[in-house]
Structure 1
Amino acid sequence: MKGVIQRVAHANVVVDGETVGEIGQGIMLLLGVEPEDTEAVADKMLHKVLGYRIFSDADGRMNLSLKDIAGELLVVSQFTLAADTRKGMRPGFSTAAKPDHAERLYEYFSAEASKSVTVANGRFGADMKVSLLNDGPVTFLMDIQP
């Protein structure tokens, strides 16, 4: 499972002119699911996302987590993160999970996250317009293996 997390002042997702997900201060996560990913892998990713210390403490150091600041989480499905980009000039997507498997884990991840923080979502499989104000900028790539 791959994820890109961005510390944001705010972020939103629009589908067909309608805002389907929106957060204030927190993390926007682009989430890519691979064929071998399981709920256990999603749990590891969630633990990392919620506990990753990327928010400033009173001394200006990145020492606080999303949970510490009571921030919000926007989860956006992003199958292109699982692309094979090693050869050629066109990405290959055979390394991405099939849509039914990916959607199940995406929904599982979001449901589990909502037990700890406020969660908003994009719409799985939709053509989404994502807007955000990256705070920092602070962006990290996460790669959790089974």
Structure 2
Amino acid sequence: MTDPQKRFDAIVKALKENNQRLTPQRLAIVRILAHSDGHPNVEEIYEALRGDFPTMSLATVYRNVILLKSLGEVLELGFPDGGNRYDGNKPYPHPHVICVRCKKIIDPDLATLKDMTTEVAEETGFRILTHRLDFFGICLECMEKER
């Protein structure tokens, strides 16, 4: 995980550079995304902020997350069930390990990913623009619950 405060500052800088207002709600959403290592969905962000911003709507959170995504400051992880999750701490393509039971997402550090991307490009002749590499399994906590 990168330094959450540095990510927060970088996202705020991107917002300023794109002439976006720094409302208290927007800054709170940015803070959650920059500090989260759990890849929250929009509903989880909304629930975390409802107490501080009781008049804020779920649509406000959606709009802000989409804005941050359009600025390249949030990585969206889409899933077949329609449940998108968001990574504001590492907004660039990187691998994920996803528990099929509890939906926990972990970011493993894979030093060989750059080599794999190069190998795929060389084998296919493609210029790779982005990638997504997900591993699905059962996390340690869920396996412990089974025992």
Classify the TM-score, shorter chain: under 0.3
Normalised by the size of structure 1, how large is the TM-score? Answer: 0.25
Q: Which structure has the bigger radius of gyration?
A: 2
Return the structure number with greater relative CO, CA threshold 8 A, min gap 6: 1
